[in-house]
A and B are shown apart, each in its own frame.
Chain A
Amino acid sequence: MTSVQLAQASNAAVYASMLTLTLAMIFFAASFASGRRRSTATADLPARIAEGAGGTAVITRPPAVADAPLEPGRRSANIGMSLTWLSFFTLLVGVVLRGVWAGRVPWGNMYEFSITAALGVLGVFLVMSVKRDLRWLGLFVVTPTLLWLGLAVTVLYTEAAQLVPALKSYWLVIHVSAAIICFGAFTLAAATAGLSLVRAGVERRQGTTDVRGWTSRMPTSERLQVLTNRVVAFSFPLWTFAVVAGAIWAENAWGRYWGWDPKETWAFITWVVFAAYLHARSTAGWRGNRASWIALAGWVAFLINYFGVNIFVNSLHSYSGM
């Protein structure tokens, strides 16, 4: 393929993945709008409970682990998941072609970062969904990812070019790939944290964890908090590693491993906020809604680092290409 064809193919793949993602969103939304309420561990199993002696439900798998299946709109949710997989692979093709076109890792400017970050979000979501039923979460992952990609192809689009010399380092590959996976995971954590806040509000107002209404299609606020914690517990060490890799790279490029450059500062703030989140999860009185707010704050710090520092602040790290 010629260079121009490669570029066109990459762009076409990105647009195709956006189209698939739009369809996925519609199917996920349909699954939310249709059908009956989500069954929680015991509420929808009157028959089986009756079988169990003395009120002890005897079932083959502990419900704490298997998120109770999403009964309503199951078909369309399944289609949504398949479309999300399809979109992921299409986007992967787009990112890889972009890298082939540029002759380097596709992380040279904000457009490339953004499409790779979208890939990170979808990837982390899909990997997590392999082991547990996350169809209820699909709508809340796919919609922001679509908006994000829309922003990338319209506002952030940049022609491919080579890297500035400071970005030419294999630490770039290590540092950035870790950061992109973290971005995916932190975004998911923010989604589940946000949903847990919404759901907790509904639970409080209705006075029960067995709620009615649209939030009934997601797990209880407590399950959502546990899920948030899992995701942060996965990404926090990785983020620590990403920051350390960045420090090693900075030491190589600028002669100091830490210099309180705005980008470094916000990476540190993000790190401290998520450390605070993990602490909050072990502190009486903080493990519920307050911890969820902290997880959201950590994600906002990450976004500030990405948009604010790249575009508005005069930093050694300003490479937006805009």
Chain B
Amino acid sequence: MTTRLEEPAAGLPEEKPLPPLGSVGLLRWMWRQLTSMRTALILLFLLALASVPGSILPQRGTNPIRVDEWLAQNPASGPLLDRLGFFDVYASPWFAAVYLLLFISLIGCVLPRIAQHWRAVRLPPPPAPRRLSRLPHSREFASPREPQDVVGAAEQYLRSHRWRVRTGQADDGTPWVAAEKGHARETGNLVFHVSLLFVLAAVAIGGLLGWKGNVIVREGTGFSNTLTQYDAWGGGRFVDPDSLAPFSFTLDRFQVDFERADAQRGAPRLFEADVTFRDTPAGDPVATTIEVNEPLDVDGAKIFLVGHGYAPHVVVRDSAGEVVFDDTVVFLPQDGNFTSTGVIKVPDADPSLGFNGLFLPTASRDQIGAGVSTFPAPDDPEVLLAAFRGDMGLDSGVPQSVYTLDTSQMVKVGLESIRPGETWTLPNDSGSIEFVGLDRWASFQIAHDPGKELALLAAGAAIAGLMLSLFVRRRRVWVKALPGEAGGTLVQIAALARTEATDLTADVSAIADELGAPAAVEERSAE
């Protein structure tokens, strides 16, 4: 085994001094504990452990609806877990505590090591030890050349192979060369750890200066980048939501295709949104497409296609035959076959009309007769409607979701299913509703993250540093030229690794070959 010079021997327990009395001493002791390798190790464990619950419990950030469901199903434990932040793990104080402590420890650990490394790099390699044959990798042979020649050749060879070289003479006049290689290992390690700090900084920048919004756009309609147009929007503390880039686009057509073969039947095969884009309201219209994996880049923001669904087109007439509603309505898919639910609100009818709807692109009935879709494409579309009449509560001042109908003040009028082209004449002279046809909608995520380039850069630096740190071997070699017995020179070469289990035979042999060692000399190993 090779020796590690600076590390305590394997398996020896670390000394554990008691905390000293006195506040300065105590603070220093605490700091030393926090920045020790053992603490770093424990904090890494804690970080791994703290990440687990967020992958098991639903999270508000990604799936707020499932969180509400979970809370409803677990009235006992739910609220307590909620208060402890288990539904928002990665933004919870205890998760932050773990990673902030880890990064404080990291800074406290890395700063002194940078200083130390800075000094070490500029130090020349240490002189040759007295007895080279004691070192783990060594070799000895006789050479007819002069000692100075041998040492000179060794020095030249080592320099040209990018070793850091120092020459000198022992007390008895024996010339030697000392060389060292592999400081890049520690450099890489430090670069890696510092890069992690930059990754964290990039995430923080994205959190504070970035924003992200979601919007559903129906075919034939448009979107412009202002806060009011978003269905959901979230931005960092330093984002001014009133000064978003003034771009806009209309969704001209949305194309989808689904697998029809038996294997993975119904799986999506193509999504493509054809849009007309303007970067300012007065700008030139540009026709382009947005696809999954191929977002549209605008002014530092990116427009991603994230979902789609159906928007049936309906026309509602009042009892006099006047059109009171003529539009497409977004229905939200509930399963992989796009069984979708939606609500049609007709406040202009008198009294107001409201419909709870179920849309089935390929209509079928399950065992209990409820409507389900059996394929995501509109092979046999049908919409099931429950009609209500009365006060929808739109004037109450409380904001309402467009996807729910408050029927508490309404009277049920009837239930019917209709296909494209069909009209349902409502009972009691309440008017009629016509299912004209189908449009689609697409949902977009529009995101701006000013930290992501830094994150990528830092991640790249981290990987580069890591590779240096793990693959470079730090090592020293020495060459000594002693006067030989028969007039020539006795050349001694030895190497010492400063990283675990490193084989330096190749280094020693290369130098020996360079200095003209006979091929069949045996190597000595002090293992």
Contact = CB atoms under 8 A, between A and B. Distances in A.
B471 to A, nearest CB: 8
Interface residues of B, number: 76
The 10 closest A-B pairs by CB, nearest first: A159-B263, A161-B264, A62-B525, A255-B447, A255-B304, A262-B55, A276-B44, A265-B55, A165-B292, A272-B48
Interface stretch (B140-148, B156-164, B375-383, B461-469): B461-469
Interface string B104-125: 0000000000000000000000
Contact of A265 (B45, B51, B304, B523): B51
A259 interface: yes
B54 A260 contact: yes
Contact of A260 (B37, B90, B212, B463): B90
A43 B365 CA distance: 78
B41 A283 contact: yes
Contacts of B459: 240, 244, 247
Nearest to A160: B263
Interface string B1-37: 1100001101111100000000000000000000001
Given A164-B268, A237-B467, A260-B61, A280 B41 contact: yes
A254 B304 contact: yes
The B interface is mostly helix, strand or loop, or mixed, namely mixed
Contacts of A272: 44, 47-48, 51
8 contacts: A62-B136, A62-B525, A233-B470, A240-B459, A257-B455, A272-B47, A276-B41, A309-B55
B252 interface: no
B52 A244 contact: no
Nearest to A108: B264
A247 B458 CA distance: 13
B505 A65 contact: yes
Interface of A: 41, 56-65, 109, 158-162, 164-166, 168-169, 222, 226, 229-230, 233-234, 236-237, 240-241, 244, 247-249, 251-262, 265-266, 268-269, 272-273, 275-276, 278-280, 282-288, 301, 309, 313-314, 321
B445 interface: yes
Nearest to B303: A255
A165 B304 contact: no
A158 B12 contact: no
Contacts of A234: 470
Given A260-B89, A279-B37, A284-B14, 20 more contacts: A57-B525, A63-B527, A64-B525, A158-B263, A161-B267, A168-B293, A226-B501, A240-B462, A256-B449, A259-B62, A269-B55, A272-B48, A278-B470, A279-B44, A283-B41, A284-B8, A284-B37, A287-B11, A309-B55, A314-B63
Contacts of B90: 260
A283 B13 CA distance: 10
B240 interface: no
B335 interface: no
B137 interface: yes
Contacts of B434: none
Given A62-B525, A256-B212, A283 B37 contact: yes
A278 B188 CA distance: 15
B527 A255 contact: no
B245 to A, nearest CB: 15
Contacts of B411: none
Contacts of B513: none
A210 to B, nearest CB: 15
B527 A269 contact: no
Interface in B257-301: 259, 261-264, 267-271, 291-295
Contact of A256 (B10, B263, B447, B501): B447
B463 A236 contact: no
Contacts of A158: 263-264
A285 B466 contact: no
Interface in B421-466: 445-447, 449, 452, 455-456, 459-460, 462-463, 466
Contact of A252 (B8, B259, B293): B293
B40 interface: yes
A309 B447 CA distance: 26
Best-surrounded residue of A62, A249, A253 (most CB of chain B within 10 A): A62
A244 B199 CA distance: 11
A288 B13 CA distance: 12
B264 A159 contact: yes
Contact of A283 (B38, B48, B456): B38
B259 A273 contact: no
Contact of A255 (B40, B270, B302): B302
Given A65-B503, A240-B462, A58 B524 contact: yes
B204 interface: no
A62 B505 contact: yes
Contacts of A222: 1
Contacts of A229: 500-501
A255 B466 contact: no
